[in-house]
Chain A
C-alpha cells in the first residue's frame, strides 16, 4: 500500500574535497565535528520516531557529501537506530553513495554487514583529463579498483554516475566512457548533463571560460548516451536514469522513484528534505545550529495546496519515461485529470512533445524523447 510506505534519506555533509560543480551542502570538516554530527543525527531519528509507526520502509538512501569519507561504524549506528524504529527487511533498498577517491577496501565488509545492498559510485568520466576539469579526487584507475572491491563483496546492485557536457568533453571521449562503464556491467547508470549551478566555482568562472560543449553538442551527447545505453540493454526510465530490467529483477532505483511518485519520505541531517502527508520541509543547512538542536529548525516548511500538489504530480511524474497514470491523478485529487489539464495535454501531443498510451484504468500520459529534451518548456505549462 502506497500510503503506508515510507523512505528515509540520510545526509552526510562531509567531503575530502569539494568538486568544482557541486552545489550540495557539503564541506571538509575535522573529526570531532563528524562525531557530534552523527550523534545529532541519531537524536533527530529519536525525535521523529513517531513518524515511522505503522509504516513499511521501502528504502534508505545515504547520500552527501561523501558518505564513504567517514568511518563505516557511523553508518552502522545510523542504520541500527533506524531499524529500532521501523523494521528493515530483505526488500528494503539501502543505498550508500561512495566516491572512488575514498578507499573502501576496508569499509565494504562493514557496509554489507549492516545491510547495505546498493552502492552508487560517482565516476562522472573515464577520461582523467575530464575528471581533473571537474575537480574530482580520483582517476579512472582508482575507480576500476573501487568497482572491483564493491562487486567482489557481493553487491549486485551497483549504480555508476556519469556526466555529459563536461568541459573539453566531445562525442568520442563520451563514447569511450560509455564503453568502459557498460563493459563493467553495472545494474544502473545515471547519466547527467552538467548543470552550472549558482554559487559553484564553475558558475563564478563563467560558461565562456569553461570550454563547455555548445547547446547543440550537448544535445548530441545526450542523444548518443541514450542510444548507446539502450543498445547495451539499459532502459531509460527517467530523464537521467537507466537500469537493467528483466522478468527476474528490476534495477530501477526504488528510492529515487519515491521522489518522482511523491511517496512520503523523511530526510535526516542538515539540508535534508522531507515530504510527509503533503507537507514539505527542509532542515537548516548550518551544521552548528543543527548539532545544538537536531531536527528542530527548518529552512522551509510548506503545506502543499491541492494546486501545488497537482503541479508537482505533473512535473515530477513526467520526468519518468512512462509518465503518469491518469487514474493515479483521479485517486489523489478526486478529479479527472483531463478536466484540469486536458487542453494543455492535447497541445503537447499536437506538438509531438507528449503522448497518451494504454487504455481505461491503465491509460498513461508521457513525454516523447523530444519532449524530455525540452521538458522544462512542457512542464512549466502545467504550473499556474
Chain B
C-alpha cells in the first residue's frame, strides 16, 4: 500500500514505572486490531521472560499497526516502546529521537513522579509533542482532576482535556487513539533528499544477522542499496527492508520518509550498527549525521567468575552470545588470585548488571561468583598518565598517584514533604551536594543533588524507598568527573590479601566501611578448625578486625542402625555447603561473601 506521510504517526509512550505504559501499549494494539484478545499475551512488547517477570522494558521494541480513525481514514501507527530504567537512558533518548510525539501516561492516583518529569523533559528536548493521559481512573484513590492540575502546574502542558482512561479495564482507549491522530504531528521527510535514517535499536538473529531498527527521516531505502554507517564509515548492501508486525518482521519493498522499520545487511555484530548512528546512502550520502550519537560507555564494572573453574570456556561463550545482542556489554579476561580466571565486565548500571548475570545463570545454566561492582575512577599519575580504573586491584601505588577523580551524577528526587528530612539526610550521608529544591505543590518537593555515582550504585534506591516508605521517586544522569579523596580498602582473610574483595572508598568512610565489611565477612565465613582473623586495611595499615572462632567440636554422638541414611544426609549437606566455597589460602569462603560490600548498609 502506498503510504503518505500525512497518515503516519510515530510515537512512544512515556511514564513513571508502574503507571501503566505497557498495558496501554497492549490496549492500543488490541483496539487497532493487530491482536485479537485471544492472541494477546499480557504485555506483548516485553519479549524477554525477565522483562515480563520484572515488569520493566529492557530492550526497545517497535510495532506497526493500522488505525481507522473516526474521519474514515486509515493511519499507520508506529509505536516505539522505550526501556524504562535510568540504566538505559541513552537508548531511551534514541528511541525518542525516532518519534514525532509522545503519549505521557500518568497514574491518576499517584500523580507526577520523578521519572514522569525526567521522561517529559527528555521528550521535549527531542522536540516531541507530548500529550498526557490520566490512567487508572478506576482506582478508588484516583483523583484525575487534581493530577491534571498538577501536570499543568509542574510540567506546564495542557491537561484539563486529557483522556481519562483505565488501560487495564479498557476504558477511554478510543479517545487515546483519536488524540494520537490529532495531537501527534505527521513526519515531514523529504523523499528527494539524501537518505538519512536513525538507528534506534538492533537485534541479532542467527539467520539474518543483525537486524537494524531504523526511522527514516529523508530519502528511501530498499534492498540492494549501498548504505553507509556514518559513525564508523562501514558500508554494506541492504539485503532486506521491512516493518514490525506483532512479534514478527514483515518484509516490504522499501522504507520511505517518516517510516519506521528494519533493514538487514549481513552484519555480524551489533556493535557495528550502534544505536544512535545515522544510516545514509554510500552513493549519495547526506552531509551531516543526525545529532545525538554517542558511544555509550559502561558505568559499572564487576568481576564475573565461574563458581566451577571448569566453566570458564562456557562463561566466555555465553558472554559472547549475550554481547551479540547487547552492544553496551563489555568484557575482558582477568585473573584473580582468589577466584581464578574470569572476566571484568562493564555494564550500563546495576540493573543491567543484574539482568546479565541473571541471564547467564538462567539461560546458560552457569553458577557465578561476582565481585562487588564499582564505577570507573580516573587516576592521574605523577608521571602525567591518566588511567581509567575499572578493577580496584589495578590501582597504582599511592606514591605514583597524583590525584583521583570519581564520576558524579545529577539526581532529581521527588518526595513528599513528610519525608523531606529523611531524604536530605540520606543524600548527605552519601556525600550529596544540593543543587536545588523546588516545591511542586504544597506537599511535594523536587530535590536536586549532585551525588557520587559510587554512593548510589549499590543500594541507594532501596534506602530511598525505605526512608520514604515508598513515597520518593528518583532519576539521574551522568554529570561528569570531580576530584575526590579516595583510597583502596583491602581485606585480609587469615592474613592473606584477597584481591577480589578490595574496593575503592571515600577516604573518610574507610574506617566505617572497613569495620562493617569485617563484621559482614565474619558472619559469611563458616568456622574452620582454626581461628581466622579478618582484617580491613588501607595502604597496608590495618584499620578494623574481626575473628571467626575455631570449631571446637563437630560430631554426631549417636549413629545406629535406624539413623544411617539421615546421618549420611547431614554429612552430605555439610559437604554440599563446602562445594559452594572458594579456597582462599587455607580458608573456604562462600561465594556470597564476595558481594558482602553490597550489603554493608543492611541491618
Instruction: Tell me, yes or no, whether A117 is within 8 Å of chain B by CB.
Output: no
A31 at the binding interface (Cβ < 8 Å): no
Partner among A216, A272, A373, A383 whose Cβ is within 8 Å of the Cβ of B555: A373
Q: Is B529 an interface residue (CB 8 A)?
A: yes
Whether A374 pairs with B568 at a CB distance below 8 angstroms is: no
- Minimum CB–CB distance from B602 to chain A (whole Å) comes to 24
Within 8 A of A (CB), among B552-589: 552-562, 564-565, 567-568, 570-572, 574-575, 578
Give the interface centre of A273, A319, A372, A380 by most chain B CB atoms within 10 Å: A380
Q: Smallest CB-CB separation from B563: which chain A residue?
A: A273
Set B553, B559, B574, B575: member contacting A373, Cβ < 8 A? B553
Flag if B562 contacts A272 (CB, 8 Å). Answer: yes
| Shortest CB distance B190–A (Å) | 72
Residue of B whose beta carbon sits closest to that of A220? B552
Q: Is A189 an interface residue (CB 8 A)?
A: no
Residues of A within 8 A of B562 (CB): 9, 267, 271-273, 282
Question: Is B557 in contact with A383, judged by CB distance below 8 angstroms?
Answer: no
CA distance A232 to B529 in the complex (A): 31
A215–B564 CA distance with the chains assembled, in angstroms: 25
Asked if A380 contacts B560 (CB within 8 A), the reply is no
The smallest C-beta distance from B267 to any residue of chain A, in angstroms, reads: 48
Is B578 a contact partner of A319 (Cβ separation < 8 A)? no
A249 at the interface (CB under 8 A from B): no
CB of B169 closer than 8 Å to a CB of A: no
| A27 CB–B CB distance under 8 Å | no
For A, the interface residue count at a CB cutoff of 8 angstroms equals 46
Does residue A379 face the partner (Cβ distance < 8 Å to B)? yes
Q: Which of A240, A311, A372, A375 contacts B568 (CB 8 A)?
A: A311
The answer to the question of A96 belonging to the interface, with a C-beta cut-off of 8 Å to chain B, is no
Q: Which of A355-384 contact B (CB under 8 A)?
A: 372-377, 379-381, 383-384
The interface size bin for chain B is 20 to 34
Give chain B nearest CB distance to A225 CB in angstroms: 11
Q: Is B124 an interface residue (CB 8 A)?
A: no
Q: Which residues of A from 106 to 128 have beta carbons under 8 Å from B?
A: none
Question: Using an 8 Å CB-CB cutoff, how does the interface string of A304-325 with B read, 1 for contact, 0 for none?
Answer: 0000100110011001000000
> Which of B556, B574, B578 counts the most A-chain CB atoms under 10 A from its CB?
B556
For chain B, residues 479 to 532, give those with C-beta under 8 angstroms from any C-beta of chain A.
529
A343-B565 Cα distance, complex, nearest whole Å: 25
Contacting pair B571 A215 (CB below 8 A): no
Which residues does chain B contribute within 8 Å of A374, judged by CB atoms?
529, 551, 553-555
- Which B-chain residue is minimally distant from A223 (CB atoms)? B553
Contact A375 B565 (CB under 8 A): no
Q: Which residues of chain B come closer than 8 Å to A222, judged between CB atoms?
A: 553
**Which one of B557, B568, B572 lies within 8 Å of A239 (CB-CB)?**
B557
| A383 x B575 contact (CB < 8 A) | yes
Cβ–Cβ < 8 Å partners of A216 in chain B:
552
Cross-chain contact B575 with A384 (CB below 8 angstroms): yes
Known: A282-B562, A300-B565, A312-B564. A193 touches B557 (CB 8 A): yes
In the complex, which of the residues B557, B565, B578 has the most CB atoms of chain A within 10 Å of its own CB atom?
B557
Q: Are B561 and A275 in contact (CB under 8 A)?
A: yes
Specify which chain A residues have a CB less than 8 angstroms from the CB of B570 in the assembled complex: 376
Is A280 an interface residue when CB atoms closer than 8 A count as contact?
yes
Interface residues in A249-290 (C-beta closer than 8 Å to B)? 256, 258-260, 265, 267, 271-275, 280, 282
> Contacts A193-B555, A218-B553, A222-B553; is A379 near B561 (CB within 8 Å)?
no
Please report the C-alpha to C-alpha distance between residue A383 and residue B567 in the assembled complex, in whole angstroms.
Answer: 12
A380 touches B578 (CB 8 A): yes
Which B residues are CB-close (under 8 A) to A218?
Answer: 553
Is A383 a contact partner of B529 (Cβ separation < 8 A)?
no
Q: How far is the CA of A384 from the CA of B575 in the complex (A)?
A: 7
Residues in chain A within 8 A of chain B (CB atoms): 9, 192-195, 215-216, 218-219, 222, 239-240, 256, 258-260, 265, 267, 271-275, 280, 282, 300, 302, 308, 311-312, 315-316, 319, 351, 353, 372-377, 379-381, 383-384
20 contacts between A and B (CB under 8 A): A193-B557, A195-B558, A239-B556, A256-B560, A259-B559, A259-B560, A273-B561, A275-B561, A311-B568, A319-B559, A373-B554, A374-B551, A374-B553, A375-B556, A376-B555, A376-B570, A376-B571, A377-B529, A383-B572, A384-B575
